[in-house]
Amino acid sequence: MKRGHSVISTGTTSLVLIFVMLCMLTFSVLSLASARANLRLSEKSAQRTTDYYAAENAANETLIQIEQAARQTLMSQYAASALNQDFTAQVCKRLADPSSVRVTEENRLAYQVPLGEDQHLSVELEVFPEANAQGLHYEIRAWQVVTDYDWQADDHLDVLDPGQLPFALE
């Protein structure tokens, strides 16, 4: 009686097992790399959010100081029975740090709060002696994140000089 040879031998099984193990190892390394990239992105996002809200809190504190200075200016001017035409400048003088707020136009104030390395929160207000419907003496005209980074496009293109070729182009 003749014994037949099996189509699948021990060596083929070992090769399939090694291939499956290599595939599993490759997918696990890719999963680990993806997880690390997601962790770094999440940390950056969390830091960016923290920085933004810290800047917004500082901007709101300045806004409160401006409102208080506007009310104090009004009280002193009404006590003197004369509403000064230079209301905005008077409000700036009454702030805790008048150098941080600047007058941009006749009745507009602007200030900036740092936000990370290359950004700041830019705020522009319109200040007026009469209170609005909410009882405030200002109206927010701009509250936006502005980037200080000066981006330069790389439009330089290295092209091969035909004179440097070892053969002639025809």
In this structure, is residue 28 part of a structural domain?
no
- Alpha-helical segments (H) within 80-117: 87-93
Does 87 fall in a domain?
yes
Give the lowest-confidence range in 14-23, 24-33, 108-117: 108-117
Least confident of 40-44, 76-80, 102-106, 119-123: 76-80
Token reading at 21: 């193990």
Residue 85 has pLDDT above 50, yes or no: yes
pLDDT of 7: 58
> How many separate domains does the chain show?
1
pLDDT at 81: 46
Q: Which two tokens stand for residue 133?
A: 């419907």
Q: Is residue 30 included in any domain, yes or no?
A: no
Contact 104/125 with Cβ under 8 angstroms? no
What is the SS3 assignment for 36?
A: helix
> Does residue 70 belong to any structural domain of this protein?
yes
Q: Is the pLDDT of residue 2 over 80?
A: no
Q: Strand pairing of 138-147 and 101-105?
A: unpaired
Q: Length of the chain, please?
A: 170
| Closest by CA position to 101, among listed 145, 67, 146 | 67
102, part of any domain: yes
Is the residue at 51 inside a domain?
A: yes
Structural domain containing residue 53:
37-147
Residue 1 lies inside a defined structural domain of this protein: no
Q: Report the C-alpha gap between 105 and 97 in whole angstroms.
A: 19
Q: Six-digit token pair at 29?
A: 């390394």
Q: Please tell me what DSSP assigns to residue 4.
A: P
pLDDT band at 27 (very low <50, low <70, confident <90, very high): very high
Residue 63 included in any domain: yes
